[in-house]
A and B are shown apart, each in its own frame.
Chain A
């Protein structure tokens, strides 16, 4: 870890009155000049050198506040308000200690002709670093830009002394914290906490399905499963019944069969009725026989004689027929028998013509009725042969209707089952969703818990850092005050005053007269900001030195001659103390006498414009800045 750096060289390009110049802070043997003086008359360019160093380090003005320099202030006057080329300052630094040229760090700040902001370039040996790393190196080496209540203290001029007079005793001053570098971790801790806050808020916004619904859904699911199970049993029963009772005949067939039955039955009844109405009566039998016999005789060509017109003439008829030999003996014998058995009246033979047609019609009717009776009986028997009877037709029809009903029931049941399955699926999906949510919720709870724990930890860390900062500031202020007194005791040669911290009404440094204990406050000139009186100036310089230690400044102390009222022995002691204590010192003064006050001076750099026309350039640079 590097605590301090020595300045090896300063290279300036197009900066204020300098076109081109490189000032080397080593001697001819390339030995480091750790303690040196820059002197020269007013206007020679000493301030330009300090200005260039500070601009390279911070890009700011030399004023009391950190303010980026405008281009026009940096331009060489000859540019006449228009930038013509890059402006750059390069500081070559070497870590204090056992380091050689290979360890030299080149810190370059460039304001490009066409750029809005200046850029940083750091080179160490062969390594060129990018802008971000260069910026880090700049921060490490130079610290925060000096401004009110903070920054690194290594350039000590009246501006810094003025700032010290205003702010050193305030505990809010962060001069002391700069080189602890906890700003970034503190910000990061805050960012991490913010991330966790976002996580907590995001999780908190989630609307998880209530797990309280689970028992209700479980109950619904179980109940629905029971219903489905029962319905399935019912469905199986219905399917079995339907399969077993599948009708052989359709209802249409049955209807047709019934109609056939009804028609056949009606036909049978009608035939029966017709047969009944047309049946032969006993008294008609003789007439029928007469007609038939007459018809037979007539067809046989035998005329019916009037002699037949007697009641018992059958013997005569048979005898007559025997004679004709047209009938077989059986017929004639049978006719003879008629006379014996029935005694039919043959007189009707003669009337045959009149009743023949009637009998034909009657017989036809009888035949027709008989046919109808036979046909209808056959039809009924045919239906019976396929299992349809008058008796079971109704039963079959009833069964068919039940089949239809059960088929419809099955359809409804199947539909209900389908709906219930769908419903069950929905419930199970919801349950799964809740269970899954429960898992995710559980994971989120773990995340939430972790975020809460981390936030508590982060709060604890940030609080601890804040408290440590506060405590450190208090302790450092106390220690810095001791260091102010320490430097005062070494440097002050007059021994008339000692530093004193006045607590009220406003904490501030003052001086106590050793002889009469009177208090002398530090007075600043309202117009120049310079402390009046050598003691006041010395007190503020001692304060700057103490703060320089505490602020972690790593650059050589650049001590501008801002203590014009301090007596010479004290100035001499001041310069020797600073050079010994901080290892390196650049003392800048207008006065020739003061330039020779440093006992262990490694060289005096004289700045003079006597041999410089208007601008310092590569040709006249050596004349402008010359080592003595």
Chain B
């Protein structure tokens, strides 16, 4: 494994942690369960370093996941 590859891994991990922190700190997303939050995080970070995903695939995946999340604590219509 080259130094640059190690660096890539490090950067992926670094971004992943930053993203998780930002998601956890977000007023809305923090209302999600830990499991749902991790599901969303996993969905977003799975593209790191991969082939840029197709829009249709990402759209379908995200829609499917959004449909599964428990949004009870997310603010809706007043």
Contacts and interface: CB of A to CB of B under 8 A. Distances in A.
A107 to B, nearest CB: 13
Nearest to A135: B52
Interface string A1-16: 1011000000000000
B27 interface: yes
A586 interface: no
Contact of A179 (B21, B48, B53): B48
B29 A461 contact: yes
B77 A457 contact: no
A141 to B, nearest CB: 8
A139 B74 CA distance: 36
Interface string A166-192: 000000000010011111110111011
B19 A464 contact: yes
B15 A449 contact: no
A73 B69 CA distance: 53
Interface residues on B, range: 35 or more
Interface in B31-63: 32, 40, 43-44, 47-55, 58-59, 62-63
Given A453-B71, A457-B28, A448 B77 contact: yes
A453 B18 contact: no
B55 A187 contact: yes
A137 B18 contact: no
A472 B47 CA distance: 16
Contacts of A458: 66
B71 A457 contact: yes
Contacts of B76: 449-450, 452-453, 456
B47 A182 contact: yes
A465 B22 CA distance: 8
A179 B62 contact: no
A549 B6 CA distance: 10
A459 interface: yes
Given A136-B52, A445-B77, A464-B29, A185 B14 contact: no
Interface in A561-589: 580-583
Contact of A1 (B22, B25, B27, B49): B49
B15 A468 contact: yes
A460 interface: yes
Given A185-B58, A468-B22, A550-B11, A139 B71 contact: no
A192 B22 contact: no
A233 interface: no
Contact of A465 (B2, B5, B44, B48): B44
Nearest to A545: B4
Contacts of B5: 3-4, 96, 583
A472 to B, nearest CB: 5
Interface string A546-562: 00111010000000000
Nearest to A445: B77
Given A460-B27, A581-B4, A452 B75 contact: yes
Given A188-B59, A550-B11, A467 B29 contact: no
A460 B4 CA distance: 33
Nearest to B24: A464
Contacts of B71: 450, 453-454, 457
A110 to B, nearest CB: 20
A464 B53 contact: no
A188 B8 contact: no
A298 interface: no
Interface in A121-167: 132, 136-137, 139-140
Contacts of B58: 184-185, 188
Interface residues on A, range: 35 or more
B44 A457 contact: no
A224 B53 CA distance: 65
Contacts of B40: 461
A192 B59 contact: yes
B4 A549 contact: yes
Contacts of B53: 136, 181, 184-185
B63 to A, nearest CB: 7
A103 to B, nearest CB: 15
A395 interface: no
Contact of A457 (B7, B59, B74): B74
Contacts of B49: 1, 3, 179-181, 552
A452 B63 CA distance: 15
Contact of A582 (B4, B15, B25, B50): B4
A357 interface: no
Contacts of B69: 457
A476 B45 CA distance: 17
Point out which of B18, B52, B75, B77 has the most chain A C-beta atoms below 10 A from its C-beta.
B52
Interface string A87-100: 00000000010000
A475 interface: yes
Point out which of A445, A452, A549 has the most chain B C-beta atoms below 10 A from its C-beta.
A549
Nearest to A181: B47
A420 B25 CA distance: 65
Nearest to B32: A457
Given A457-B69, A465-B44, A132 B54 contact: yes
B52 A460 contact: no
A102 B75 CA distance: 53
A4 B2 contact: yes
A280 to B, nearest CB: 118
A180 B66 CA distance: 21
B15 A472 contact: yes
A523 to B, nearest CB: 29
Nearest to A474: B18
10 contacts: A179-B49, A180-B15, A184-B58, A445-B77, A454-B71, A460-B28, A463-B22, A467-B22, A476-B14, A552-B49
Interface of A: 1, 3-4, 96, 132, 136-137, 139-140, 176, 179-185, 187-189, 191-192, 445, 448-450, 452-454, 456-461, 463-465, 467-468, 471-472, 475-476, 479, 483, 548-550, 552, 580-583
Given A3-B49, A176-B11, A448-B77, 20 more contacts: A3-B5, A179-B48, A180-B49, A181-B50, A181-B52, A181-B53, A182-B44, A184-B52, A188-B58, A189-B62, A456-B28, A460-B23, A464-B29, A465-B44, A467-B22, A472-B18, A549-B8, A552-B49, A583-B2, A583-B5
